Each structure stands twice: as C-alpha cells, then as structure tokens.
Structure 1
C-alpha cells in the first residue's frame, strides 16, 4: 500500500532539488492541476510543460507545516521561499489539495495566501 504522506513529501523534495523525473512520477498521466494565474493544466504533457518551461520560479524551498491524509485526499499546508526567474525574491504560504488513485495523484489544486507564483 502506498504511503500518501511520504509520496507528497517525495514530490516537494523533488521540486526543491529540480528532480523532474521523480516529480513527474508522483502524478497520473491524466493529472488535472489547478493553480492561481494559470488555466487548468490537463494531462501529463501540459503538466510537464509547466515545470519545464512556464513555472516562474527559478529555485526555492518548501517548508511543510501540516499534512492531513484521508485517503484518497491529501492536504498540505506550508510556505515557499525562493527566487523567481526575474531575480525577485519569493515568499508565500500555500495549501495544496491532492486526490490520489492507484498510488498516483490525479488532481492537485494549489491555493496561495500571499504571492501567486
């Protein structure tokens, strides 16, 4: 059985390390990702395009403060500190809501309380 808490922790560690292969492995091919400032990203191709080309963040670190798991859902609260591609510093708090099926995230919805990145 897949440990959903460990899976989302793996995702954030991969994002912070720039490990796209591991990052993408957490999500299903039919992923639907909703994020403020973007049209919903539907499907792995659009999801990969976002992380490879369209994400405004150059680098940074997620600090997770709370993870709630109620299969098939995982809710993560945290904050992000980093540098944007334009060189500006970034700080925001966030909540991510995931839906899982068969060990892969099929939906993700990000909410920001502060700077939308």
Structure 2
C-alpha cells in the first residue's frame, strides 16, 4: 500500500517533470478536479488539460506543508506555484481524496483553493 502523502507528492513531481504517463497512473479513471476556474472530470480529460491546455506549463510546485490526519484519508497540500524563473505565481491548497481498485491506490478527487 502506498502512503497517501506519497501519492500527493508524486502528483506534483509528475506534473513538474512533464511525465504524463506517470501522472495518468496516479489518477482514478473517474477523477474529478475542482478548481476555482473550472471542474475537470475524467482521467483522460485531466491529463490532456495538464499536458496541452494549461495557461502556463513551464511551472514548478513548491510544497510548503502536507497535512494528513488519517493515512489513506484526505491529504491537504499547501504550496506555491512558481514560473520558469522561480517567481511565485500564486499560493494554493489542494485537498486530495483517494480510492483503490485492483490493489492500486489512486487519486479520486482534488479540490484546489487559491489566493
């Protein structure tokens, strides 16, 4: 069993590295990502958005803290999104929910809160 905090960290690592195969493997097929500007439903749609449709793909996530009361339950991640030059773009909190299927843990829902 993979620790939920490891899955949350792997989410950012995969996006920042542009490793969309790894990113896809972290997500449940029916994932829902609720963002301030839109809700994205489905793994293929979310991967396509992150790979092709984000306003700025040359970014990195600086993780400030990861909060988990109960391993395997919700995990909250507080951080900053930085541009290619390292300048902060905005602060965020992402709340992750997890599920499992066929023995593999996946991210089932993400709620993003920004400044």
Between Structure 1 and Structure 2, how many residues are aligned?
Answer: 107
Give the TM-score taking structure 1 as reference length.
0.84
Q: Name segments (4+ residues, structure 1) moved above 3 Å.
A: none
Give the TM-score taking structure 2 as reference length.
0.85
Superposition pairs of residues 1-117 of structure 1, within 5 angstroms: 1-38=1-38, 40-69=39-68, 70=70, 71-83=72-84, 91-102=89-100, 103-113=105-115
CA positional deviation for 1:58? 2.4
Runs of 5+ consecutive residues of structure 2 not aligned to the other structure: none
- Could you report, residue by residue, the CA deviation over 1:60-90 in whole angstroms, capped at 9, with x for unpaired residues? 111111111233211000011115xxxxx76
Identify which of structures 1 and 2 has the higher relative contact order when contacts are C-alpha pairs closer than 8 Å and 6+ apart. 2
| Cα RMSD (Å) | 1.4
Structure with greater strand percent: 1
Runs of 5+ consecutive residues of structure 1 not aligned to the other structure: 84-88
CA positional deviation for 1:51? 1.4
